[in-house]
Amino acid sequence: MIVSWNWLTEYLRLDMPVDTLTDRLALSGLNHESTGDAGGDFAIDLEVTSNRPDCLCHIGVAREISVLFDKPLKVPNPQPKAKGKPVEDYASVRIDDATLCSRFTARVIRGVKIGPSPWWLRKRLETLGQRSVNNVADITNYVMFECGQPLHAYDLAGLKGHAIIVRRGVQGESMVAINQKKYEFTPEMLVIADAERPVGLAGVMGGFDTEISDKTTNILIEAAQFDAMSIRRTVRALNLPSEASRRFERTLDPAMTEWASRRVAELILKLAGGVLAPGLIDMGGADIVRTPVTLRLDQIPRILGITIDEPTIIRILQALGLNQESSEVGSTTWTPPSWRSDLEREIDLIEEVARIHGFEHIPDDRSVPLTSTTRGPRERVENAAREVLIGLGFDEAATFSLVGEPFSHALETDSTGPAITVEHTSRKRENHLRRSLSLSLLEARAGNEARGNTDADLFEIAQVYHRSDGPLPSEPTRLAIVGGHDFFGMKGVVEGLLAKFHLDGQLEAKPMTNDLFAPGRGAQLFLNDHSLGYLGEVERSKRDTLGLRTACAVAELSFDLIRERAILVAHHQDMPPFPAVTRDLSLVVDKTLPWSDLASQAKQAAGPHMETVSYLDTFAGGNLPPDKQSVHFSLKFRHADRTLTGEEVETSIQSVIQACSDTFAATLRS
């Protein structure tokens, strides 16, 4: 934001060197970029942070200077004279979308004379790097740079039906703007229309057909409040930034809209002549309500490390425009002014006190009391997961939430709906919110392999985004792992990870069919019938599609479920006093039979003394039929109170064989 030294002197007395002024502004938060000679004036370039839109104008900067240097501030009180028929006789205004336009005001001036601006006005704008257009257009720009409220003047003769309608654009609708370029609109954009067609892009740029020209005699002056997000989306979609949109993209002072309208009218009457119609068309414009903020005085030394006396605190806050609502022992309550939308919490008031008092007055060796915090359940589970995976040779990754369309698909059996798209993003080709972490990590692994790093084993704990019935998407947290393993290698990684958490529940795996995984090399995991996630080995053709050069496997788990069921405190358990008895079995079954079904049947049939059932290997071919396979597995038995006899174990084995024979037509391999 460039401000003019001479312009600032209209609001307060500047009796300090320009360097002193800029240094003090910089220390208070308005960083000084440069000061340029502007032919008898200084053009001071200040960096205005996004939370201080009130300083995107000369009155706002002057207000800061008045507080910092304790100088009285003088703001004009425009009182334009009006006569004749009321403004409603010459124009009408209608707001069709109050969510995107909270207020729209209009004044009408008849009989203006369009011509060049006086020297002093042209000089003010040139100091700010703005070119002069004509007296009316220059005045609207002048008032915007004066108070921060953008304005626009329409040629009233060009408005069909002398009507203003604030509405959303219609798909395919277009308009030639004052820069003589044609723009097409969408329903997400807010336009200013007359009775027949768009005449302006709200908050961004006016239309060519209603532009002020030498033939203009009657004008309509717009001062309005538009939704900041709507303006920002429109600017990015059309690549059409402007000084007006820069201000509308932030929160404007709602109390300045009517003031700016009066100020523009007063200057136009003075510099372009004409007659102002009495009254103001004012649509919207609800009362300004600010929530009071209570400041506890003992928080000043606790946070800043220094003591500031109460009278000084009150003087600073009052000078900043805050209104003291009440005062009690040890606390005081304030209502922020309309132009300070950033003051919402107690810490905001503390920062204001420190900023005006001077950060340089706070010693850097002053101790500030700190209280250590304990890690919550989420942090403890995250750290435990990192400890295991880093120990297994994985590196933690941080990938973008926005991905390209090929990487947006979710690898889940339950439908999550189509991906959520973000239309207005600087990453034009990556505008899908990811539904899966695995694909993001596969992309990262492919990028590493392209640069010669072929062993990029990665994991990430982050959120994914799914459509929901509410206004916002659901954002579950996932833990994804990608490594240069086959299916069984990744299975071992997942088992080692889950063993760390001693999950409360029964873990079960079921075959999963997905285009990404090689046939028979994908599994979906469940914990007490709740979906825990999946793991699988990436199929060869999919590796080529994703740009992967080496074999790899992925796993993606519900971190929310792990955190909910994790048991992080180890519990003592006595060693079994009696030995276990182990028996191996090889059963011939159909090739289509999943191991999980066979293991489940064995557990049910083996009786109460079976401790574990473990898969060993699978054999096919030889003298076995083509549609059969031999599954080799081990069963471990143990009694809590005594040593099992051979007869008891044999009975359990026969029960397993019989149950598998009855259920799956399994036979014992000879």
Token digits of residue 602:
């064995």
Indicate if the pLDDT at residue 632 is higher than 50: yes
Tell me which of 430 and 526 has the higher pLDDT.
Answer: 526
Pairing of strands 507-511, 517-527: antiparallel
Domain boundaries, given as residue ranges, for the chain:
2-68, 87-284, 293-361, 377-565, 581-668
74-97 average pLDDT score: 96
* pLDDT computed for residue 568 by the predictor: 80
In tens, the pLDDT along 281-326 reads 999 877 778 999 999 999 999 888 889 999 999 999 999 999 999 9
CATH number listed for the domain at residues 87-284:
3.50.40.10
Strand partners, 163: 92
- In residues, how long is the chain? 670
Indicate if the pLDDT at residue 588 is higher than 50: yes
Residue tagged 């539904």 (tokens): 435
What does the DSSP 8-state code read for residue 648? H
71-92 average pLDDT score: 96
Question: Is 469 exposed, middle or buried (CB count within 10 Å of its CB: 0-12, 13-18, 19+)?
Answer: exposed
* Interacting residues of 652 by C-beta distance below 8 A, sequence separation 6+: 605, 606, 607, 609, 610, 635, 637
What does the DSSP 8-state code read for residue 137? H
CATH topology match: 2-68 vs 293-361: yes
In tens, the pLDDT along 401-415 reads 887 766 556 555 455
* pLDDT computed for residue 407 by the predictor: 59
138-152 average pLDDT score: 97
CA distance 77 to 94: 29
* pLDDT computed for residue 508 by the predictor: 81
In tens, the pLDDT along 199-209 reads 999 999 999 99
Answer whether 162's CB lies under 8 Å from 156's CB: yes
Residue tagged 């915090």 (tokens): 373
CA distance 363 to 669: 83
Answer whether 533's CB lies under 8 Å from 438's CB: no
Indicate if the pLDDT at residue 424 is higher than 70: no
Residue among 144, 159, 148, 143 at smallest CA distance from 108: 159
59-84 average pLDDT score: 96
* pLDDT computed for residue 466 by the predictor: 87
* pLDDT computed for residue 494 by the predictor: 92
For residue 250, report the phi and psi dihedrals to the nearest 5 degrees: -105, 180
Angle at 559 between CA 553 and CA 560, to 5 degrees: 150
CA distance 234 to 67: 37
In tens, the pLDDT along 467-497 reads 888 888 889 999 999 999 999 899 999 999 9
CA atoms within 13 Å, Cβ hemisphere of 250 = 24
Token digits of residue 88:
């409603």
Percent of the chain with pLDDT strictly greater than 90: 73
* pLDDT computed for residue 196 by the predictor: 93
Reported in sequence order, the residue ranges of 361-515 that DSSP labels E, i.e. its strands, are 395-396, 402-403, 432-433, 458-463, 477-483, 507-511
* pLDDT computed for residue 413 by the predictor: 47
DSSP three-state, residue 231: helix
Indicate if the pLDDT at residue 506 is higher than 80: no
267-286 average pLDDT score: 94
CA distance 5 to 25: 13
* pLDDT computed for residue 462 by the predictor: 94
Answer whether 574's CB lies under 8 Å from 624's CB: no
DSSP three-state, residue 534: strand
* pLDDT computed for residue 368 by the predictor: 66
Fold of 293-361: Phenylalanyl-tRNA Synthetase; Chain B, domain 1 (3.30.56)
Question: Is 83 exposed, middle or buried (CB count within 10 Å of its CB: 0-12, 13-18, 19+)?
Answer: exposed
90-95 average pLDDT score: 96
Fold of 377-565: BirA Bifunctional Protein; domain 2 (3.30.930)
Assign domain 581-668 to its CATH architecture.
Answer: 2-Layer Sandwich (3.30)
Answer whether 373's CB lies under 8 Å from 84's CB: no
Indicate if the pLDDT at residue 425 is higher than 70: no
Residue among 259, 239, 238, 256 at smallest CA distance from 247: 256
* pLDDT computed for residue 426 by the predictor: 59
Residue tagged 């596969």 (tokens): 442
180-192 average pLDDT score: 93
In tens, the pLDDT along 231-267 reads 999 999 999 999 999 999 988 999 999 999 999 999 9
Residue among 407, 430, 394 at smallest CA distance from 547: 407
Q: From 3.30.1950.10, 3.30.56.10, 2.60.40.2470, 3.40.50.720, which CATH number describes the 2-68 domain?
A: 3.30.56.10
